[in-house]
Amino acid sequence: MSRNPIIVTRHLSHIYLSGQLQKKALHDINLEIAQGSCVAIVGVNGSGKTTLVQHFNGLLRPTEGTVLVDGIDVSAKGVDLRELRQRVGMLFQLPETQLFGRTVFEDVAFGPRRMHLSRREVRSRVSQWRPAQTSCASRCIGDVTGGFGAGRSLHGS
């Protein structure tokens, strides 16, 4: 058990569709991710990685179980998804699916700008993101490979 978990799932299950087309994507997942930790979720195609992560910002709701993100119960009725999504963001796996900016900086700044933060606060938050502290920030999103552009990221500010 983590001392300061930022993400907690308890008996999380997710089923797509119902009846004969039913597909159980997640079954009884229990996990804790500590605040400030770096976690990799790995597995073969179709193993449920994306389904799991989509629960963290409310894109999907559990069929069974609970998901807590920074104390917010994602599965609760009436949960403020806007507040939740200010704490959890997602980056797409492939650079060509990045829709928001021409450069890495512009792409990372999309979320803070949608929160209607001042330009100064947007710059401050983006500069706190480690890859933005490198020459990577001014590069075209399609030119970034490996580490920075690949994978999914959770970022709580």
Specify the pLDDT at position 121. 92
Note whether 144 and 118 are same-domain residues: yes
CA distances (Å), origin 117, targets 86, 109, 113: 11, 10, 6
Note whether 9 and 82 are same-domain residues: yes
Q: What CA–CA distance (Å, rounded) separates 9 from 48?
A: 14
Specify the pLDDT at position 157. 40
Q: What CA–CA distance (Å, rounded) separates 100 from 103?
A: 9
The alpha carbon of residue 148 and the mean position of all alpha carbons in its chain are separated, in whole angstroms, by 15
Note whether 21 and 81 are same-domain residues: yes
Within-domain flag for 69: yes
Within-domain flag for 156: no
Note whether 82 and 35 are same-domain residues: yes
Q: What CA–CA distance (Å, rounded) separates 102 from 64?
A: 40
Give the pTM.
Answer: 0.63
Specify the pLDDT at position 155. 43
Specify the pLDDT at position 109. 85
- One-letter amino acid identity for 144? V
Within-domain flag for 153: no
Mean pLDDT, the chain, whole residue set: 78
Specify the pLDDT at position 116. 86
Number of domains in the chain: 2
Tell me the pLDDT tens digit for each residue of 109-152. Answer: 887 887 888 999 998 888 887 555 555 566 555 565 444 433 33
> Dihedral of CA 13/17/18/23: which sign?
negative
- Specify the DSSP class assigned to residue 115: T
* Structural domain that includes position 17: 5-86
Note whether 30 and 102 are same-domain residues: no
Q: Which segments in the chain show pLDDT lower than 70?
A: 1-2, 89-100, 130-157
Within-domain flag for 130: yes
Within-domain flag for 154: no
The DSSP annotation for 17-81 comes to S-GGG-EEEEEEEEEEEETT-------STTSSHHHHHHHHTTSS--SEEEEEETTEETTSTT--H
Within-domain flag for 123: yes
Specify the pLDDT at position 60. 92
82: domain CATH number?
3.40.50.300
Note whether 105 and 49 are same-domain residues: no
